[in-house]
């Protein structure tokens, strides 16, 4: 109570994953719409994502929300589960990286921390981790040449979220969120990410065990913090009882993240950006079918 430094998190990606919905807030397009725009005309797509990110960041800032668990850096893969689908920008790693960079840097200058996700890249999911533990069977060479690329290019950003998928070429026994190999050797090592690492929501059915046991395993594997998102107070209390204060290394990462975000312009008005985004999106004939 009374802690002004307590972060307030949300998932406000746009499209299906929008916690703020009409009629009180605007309906925003999914990430794939901006990817389609950028693939046709990079200047068009770049302007659209910047305007869009500025609108969303300022919506969140006005509500006191300080961290947005977006953008998704997973690739838009044919045949993958709709759990990702149009939440992804593109099948092309450079397009994903370019749009995610614009989104993230726009958020940082408008008062809200972005979270890149889901490390090390789970666009190939065939099953939904909300329901069952998925396995990604791509080779390490495939992962390194495609899925890892957007995360490597954005490794300087301050916050990231990991995945509950098993990457059989990396650690066939544990999902990434519970894997020391994936966290330390891949995310911290190969990808070079030294920012603040969040787990994905530990309430997903991909993970077995009590919430407090899962939380301990996530932190032991190397995440800086655990996300528990179902709102069940008794579970949160059980987790809190077994948690220790954040360690010095994690605290330093969090403190550094705070230095990267700037308060937004208090004179900002969304009217001009809303009108401009409508014009930009008006030129898009976007088919939402899952095609890459």
174 is catalytic: no
Q: Which helix (H) or strand (E) covers residue 151, if one does?
A: helix 149-153
Residue 122 to residue 217: CA distance in whole angstroms = 20
Can you tell me which residue has the tokens 């809200």?
Answer: 112
Contact partners, residue 11, CB within 8 Å, separation at least 6: 17, 18, 19, 68, 69, 70
Q: Which of 200, 201, 224, 228 is catalytic?
A: 200
- What would the two tokens of residue 113 be? 């921390």
Active-site annotation holder among 130, 185, 194, 273: 130
Task: Specify the DSSP element, H or E, that contains 2.
Answer: none
Nearest to 250 by CA among 190, 189, 197: 197
Q: How far apart, in whole angstroms, are the C-alpha atoms of residue 137 and residue 122?
A: 11
Q: Tell me the C-alpha distance between 109 and 280, whole Å.
A: 22
Does the active-site annotation cover 110? no
Q: Could you tell me if 264 and 57 are in contact, meaning their C-beta atoms sit under 8 angstroms apart?
A: yes
Q: Which residues are catalytic?
A: 130, 200
């Amino acid at each position: 109570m009374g802690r002004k430094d307590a972060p307030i998190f949300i998932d406000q990606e746009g499209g299906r994953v929008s916690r703020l919905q009409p009629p009180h807030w605007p309906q925003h397009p999914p990430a794939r719409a901006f990817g389609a725009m950028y693939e046709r005309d990079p200047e068009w797509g770049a302007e659209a994502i910047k305007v869009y990110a500025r609108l969303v960041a300022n919506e969140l800032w006005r509500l006191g929300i300080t961290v947005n668990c977006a953008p998704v850096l997973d690739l838009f893969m044919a045949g993958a589960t709709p759990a990702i689908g149009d939440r992804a920008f593109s099948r092309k790693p450079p397009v994903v990286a370019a749009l995610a960079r614009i989104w993230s840097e726009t958020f940082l200058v408008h008062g809200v921390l972005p979270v890149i996700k889901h490390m090390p890249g789970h666009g190939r999911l065939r099953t939904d981790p909300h329901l069952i533990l998925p396995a990604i069977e791509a080779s390490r060479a495939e992962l390194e040449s495609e899925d890892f690329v957007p995360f490597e290019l954005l490794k300087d950003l301050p916050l990231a979220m990991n995945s509950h998928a098993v990457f059989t070429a990396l650690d066939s026994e544990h999902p990434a969120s519970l894997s020391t190999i994936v966290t330390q050797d891949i995310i911290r090592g190969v990808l070079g990410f030294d920012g603040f690492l969040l787990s994905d929501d530990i309430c997903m059915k991909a993970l077995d065990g009590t919430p407090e046991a899962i939380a301990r395993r996530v932190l032991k594997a190397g995440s800086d913090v655990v996300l528990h998102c179902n709102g069940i107070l008794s579970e949160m209390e059980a987790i809190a009882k077994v948690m220790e204060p954040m360690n010095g290394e994690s605290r330093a990462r969090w403190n550094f993240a705070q230095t990267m975000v700037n308060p937004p312009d208090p004179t900002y008005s969304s009217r001009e950006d809303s009108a401009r985004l409508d014009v930009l999106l008006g030129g898009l004939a976007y088919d939402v079918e899952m095609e890459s």
